[in-house]
Amino acid sequence: MSEIQHRSFQIHLEHRAEGDGRTIYGMAVPYDVEQRINNNLTEVFRKGAFADVVRAPFRVKLLRGHDAKGMPIGRATLLKETDKGLYAELRVSQTAAGDEALELIKDGALDQLSIGFAPLKNRKREDGVVERIKAHLAEISLVTFGAFGDAASIMGVRDQESNIPRLSHAREILASLRQ
């Protein structure tokens, strides 16, 4: 398998108020959005890139800042490919690190995701853009700054809806996922 690569994305993220409130969810990887990673790489993920991993989401760990040497702070419980991107539900473990991460999410200080992946099938276009056709998703990390900026933005904390400026956009996305 190829070396694990990391990509950060600002995500549509909510903290679920129902249940015990330890599940965060949102769009982990936007599809069909070209992003310049560095001077030598512009990439775009295509629908289907993570089709294999959706069958075994429990294998995808939730980390903080790609810290593979530390303990994970949770794991994926659901991964779903949609037309807009890879939708993820992530269970945050009830640990000191998990509790801290949830507080930072609620406060809006930690609001982006980054993926650790190994490219399996790419297509390089004439204009140099690399299309990610198939990739192995190893982990999803909570990070401070993501690569895709406003291509995906925070939904907020569901129990604080009145403070969320993009709530109507979030409701549209969630409604489309339920179909």
Q: How do residues 99-131 score in pLDDT, each as one tens digit?
A: 999 999 888 888 888 889 999 999 999 999 999
Instruction: Compare 151 and 88 and report the one with higher pLDDT.
Output: 88
Say if residue 142's pLDDT is above 50. yes
The confidence score (pLDDT) of residue 107 equals: 83
On average, the pLDDT of the chain sits at: 79
Distances in Å between the alpha carbon of 112 and those of 31, 47, 77, 88?
Answer: 16, 21, 18, 13
Q: Where are the alpha helices (DSSP H) in the chain?
A: 96-106, 167-178
DSSP state of 127: T
pLDDT, residue 50, reads 96
Task: Specify the higher pLDDT residue, 80 or 10.
Answer: 80
Average pLDDT of the segment spanning 124-142:
95
Mean pLDDT over residues 1-27, rounded? 67
pLDDT at 158: 32
What residues does each domain of the chain span?
A: 5-178
Burial environment of residue 92 by CB neighbours within 10 A (0 to 12, 13 to 18, 19 or more)? buried
Residue with tokens 């969810």: 25
Q: How far separated are the first and last CA of the chain, in Å rounded?
A: 35
Give the pLDDT band of residue 156 (cuts 50, 70, 90): very low
Residue with the larger pLDDT of the pair 105 and 57:
57
> Which one, of 16, 20, 24, 26, lies nearest residue 159 by Cα?
16
Q: What is the structure's pLDDT at 171?
A: 54
Cα gap 141→80, rounded to integer Å = 17
Look at residue 143 and tell me whether its pLDDT is greater than 50.
yes
Looking at the predicted structure, is the pLDDT value of residue 35 above 50? yes
What is the pLDDT, as a whole number, of residue 170? 55
Q: What is the mean pLDDT of residues 24-48?
A: 91
Q: What is the pTM of this model?
A: 0.78
Residues 28, 87 contacting (CB under 8 angstroms): yes
